[in-house]
Amino acid sequence: MARIAAEFVKGFRALHFAGPCVTVFGSARFSEENRYYQMAREVGARIAGLNMTVMTGGGPGIMEAANRGAHEAGGKSLGCNIMLPMEQKPNPYVDRFITFRYFFVRKVMLVKYSYAFVVMPGGFGTLDETFEALTLVQTGKVLSFPVVLMGVEFWTPMIDFLRQRMLAEGTLSQADLDLITLTDSPDEAVAQIKRGVGVFEADRKKRPKHYRWLGEHP
Please list the residues that pair with 181 across neighbouring strands: 148
In a domain, 61, yes or no: yes
58: CATH: 3.40.50.450
Structure confidence at residue 11 (pLDDT)? 93
In a domain, 98, yes or no: yes
Question: Do residues 201 and 1 make contact, with C-beta atoms less than 8 angstroms apart?
Answer: no
pLDDT value at 41 more than 80 = yes
Structure confidence at residue 144 (pLDDT)? 87
Distance from C-alpha of 125 to C-alpha of 27, rounded to nearest angstrom = 8
In a domain, 192, yes or no: yes
Residue numbers of the domain that contains 88 = 19-204
DSSP 73-123: TT--EEEEEE--SS--PPPTT-SEEEEES-HHHHHHHHHHTEEEEEE-S--
Structure confidence at residue 87 (pLDDT)? 60
Please list the residues that pair with 81 across neighbouring strands: 99
Give the whole-number percent of the chain exceeding pLDDT 70. Answer: 93
Distance from C-alpha of 116 to C-alpha of 22, rounded to nearest angstrom = 5
What's the pTM value of the predicted model, to 2 decimals? 0.89
Backbone angles phi, psi at 92, to 5 degrees: -80, 5
Number of domains in the chain: 1
In a domain, 215, yes or no: no
Structure confidence at residue 197 (pLDDT)? 87
pLDDT value at 54 more than 90 = yes
User: At CB < 8 A and 24+ separation, what contacts does 101-109 make?
Assistant: 101/3, 101/7, 102/4, 102/7, 105/4, 105/7, 105/8, 105/11, 106/11, 106/57, 106/80, 106/81, 106/82, 107/132, 108/8, 108/11, 109/11, 109/15, 109/80
Range 43-66 average pLDDT: 96
pLDDT value at 113 more than 80 = yes
Chain-wide mean pLDDT for the chain? Answer: 92
Please list the residues that pair with 24 across neighbouring strands: 118
Give the whole-number percent of the chain exceeding pLDDT 90. Answer: 78
In a domain, 187, yes or no: yes
pLDDT value at 53 more than 90 = yes
pLDDT value at 210 more than 90 = no
Show Cβ contacts of residue 161 under 8 Å, excluding neighbours closer than 6 positions.
none
Structure confidence at residue 218 (pLDDT)? 62
In a domain, 13, yes or no: no
pLDDT tens-place string over residues 69-110: 999 999 999 999 988 877 677 899 999 989 999 999 999 999
In a domain, 14, yes or no: no
Q: Which residue has the higher pLDDT, 15 or 87?
A: 15
Distance of CA 108 to CAs 114, 146, 158, Å?
10, 17, 25
In a domain, 2, yes or no: no
E-only strand ranges, 141-198:
147-150, 180-183
Distance from C-alpha of 55 to C-alpha of 207, rounded to nearest angstrom = 23
pLDDT tens-place string over residues 144-178: 899 999 999 999 999 999 999 999 999 999 999 99
